[in-house]
Amino acid sequence: MKALINLVEKVKPHFEKGGRFEKLHRTFEAFETFLFVKGDVTHSGAHIRDAMDMKRTMVHVIIALMPPLLFGIWNVGFQHYKAIGLEVEFIDQVLFGLIKVLPIVVVSYVTGLAIEFIFASARDHEVNEGFLVSGMLIPLVIPVTTPLWMVAVATAFAVVIGKEVFGGTGMNILNPALLARAFLFFAYPSYLSGEVWIETTLQEGQQLVDGFSGATALAVMAAGEGTMPSDFDMFFGFIPGSIGETSAFAILLGAIVLVATGVGSLRIMASVFFGGLAMGLILNLFAVNEFMAMPAYKHLIMGGFAFGAVYMATDPVSASQTGVGKYIYGVLIGVITVLIRVVNPAYPEGMMLAILFMNVFAPLIDHYVVEANVKRRMKRMERVHLQTQA
């Protein structure tokens, strides 16, 4: 261990001012702080600091993303073999999933981190950890059939236009991972709707099973034809969909990690679920078609609702930042998602647009929450002035 530290110390001068690789200073620093917590001490203010830092915060989100990722990998294989009617071992399903999913994850990380490092060097600030999470979220919200170059383009768009133009991590208005998905959705619509959710590239001698349909539950409901999967399948995720979004159960496990460690906001998660459920119930009351009459709870286990509520809406940077604001923000996401799903048949999945929409409105919500605090203080002052005059 000591040897490693010594090694790093030995090569360090090359990356410092005047060194051969001076330009890579920030890159070196990122790897150095990744390897070990530096011996930097406080110099002013609080002499002791909480052990929590950005790296540990982000790594807990990654841990929370493991259940949907692992389930997603298996489900990619499961859906594929189901579509071609082959009975294979569990391990084959996982292997197939790995071969398909891993490259997407790698492309997302390499593209995004490369851009982050370049911007950190250009702006001369430390490399921020935010993309560690975004880089994992992006693969989980797109279909497994998305071409790799498209993943790279979408990631680059999200990081540069979504984040860096605003000043980097912490300054962005929109959730970068969702922006990547929205970019794909509008730039290459044919790759993000229809029969894209299951990898059905056939090899010689293979063919799709009779009556195969790769449609998601949302598409079935929106079109009003086809068969809906059972609640059981939808909850546990044995359905087609984006890589990480299908299993509400796996997402729930992640949610427990986020809430237990205090990294994710329970306030937002619960509000989103509440909003979705409430809007579903309201639509039930005025039901004029099958989708409106669908039991409200189904919204929560269909499509990307759970994934969006747990991992996307809770992004602290793009969400509302005030306590009360978080409730309003969360409820509105739930409400708008269900509205888009049911009322606007052009977009079967409303979660992405609802969150992006509310990302834009979060500062406005916060503004009014802050104003309320200001008004309270003003009133208190007026009261005192009245008393002194009386």
- Give the footprint of another protein on this chain (CB under 8 A): 1, 4-5, 33, 35-57, 59-60, 126, 128-130, 167-171, 260-263, 265, 267, 316-317, 319, 321-323, 326, 366, 370, 373-374, 376-378, 380-381, 384
Q: How far apart (Å, rounded) are the C-alpha atoms in residues 203 and 273?
A: 42
Residue pair 191/146 in contact (Cβ under 8 Å)? The answer is: yes
Nearer to another protein among residue 26 and residue 100 (C-beta): 26
CB of 122 to another protein, least distance (A): 16
Read off the DSSP letter of residue 126.
P
Q: Helices 90-123 and 130-140 sit at what angle, rounded to 10 degrees? A: 140
Q: How far apart (Å, rounded) are the C-alpha atoms in residues 375 and 358?
A: 25
Residue pair 260/60 in contact (Cβ under 8 Å)? The answer is: no
Q: Which token pair is 12?
A: 């360090």
Nearer to another protein among residue 99 and residue 171 (C-beta): 171
Q: How far apart (Å, rounded) are the C-alpha atoms in residues 106 and 139?
A: 9
DSSP string, 162-223: IIGGGTSTTT-SS-HHHHHHHHHHHHSGGGSSSTTSS--PPPTT--PPTT-----HHHHHHH
Residue identified by tokens 């090899």 is: 203
Read off the DSSP letter of residue 346.
T
CB of 320 to another protein, least distance (A): 8
CB of 275 to another protein, least distance (A): 19
Nearer to another protein among residue 299 and residue 326 (C-beta): 326
Residue identified by tokens 């056939």 is: 202
Nearer to another protein among residue 130 and residue 143 (C-beta): 130
CB of 353 to another protein, least distance (A): 23
Q: How far apart (Å, rounded) are the C-alpha atoms in residues 60 and 65?
A: 9
Residue pair 74/149 in contact (Cβ under 8 Å)? The answer is: no
Length of the chain: 390
CB of 28 to another protein, least distance (A): 13
Q: Which token pair is 87?
A: 């009975």
Q: List all residues 6 or more positions away from 389 whose beta carbon is below 8 Å from its beta carbon.
A: none
Nearer to another protein among residue 128 and residue 145 (C-beta): 128
CB of 371 to another protein, least distance (A): 9
CB of 146 to another protein, least distance (A): 28
Read off the DSSP letter of residue 38.
-
CB of 52 to another protein, least distance (A): 4
Residue pair 23/121 in contact (Cβ under 8 Å)? The answer is: yes
Nearer to another protein among residue 99 and residue 384 (C-beta): 384
Nearer to another protein among residue 46 and residue 346 (C-beta): 46
Residue identified by tokens 């005047």 is: 18
CB of 41 to another protein, least distance (A): 4
Nearer to another protein among residue 24 and residue 277 (C-beta): 24
Q: How far apart (Å, rounded) are the C-alpha atoms in residues 132 and 113?
A: 8
Nearer to another protein among residue 40 and residue 204 (C-beta): 40
Nearer to another protein among residue 8 and residue 106 (C-beta): 8
Residue pair 249/235 in contact (Cβ under 8 Å)? The answer is: yes
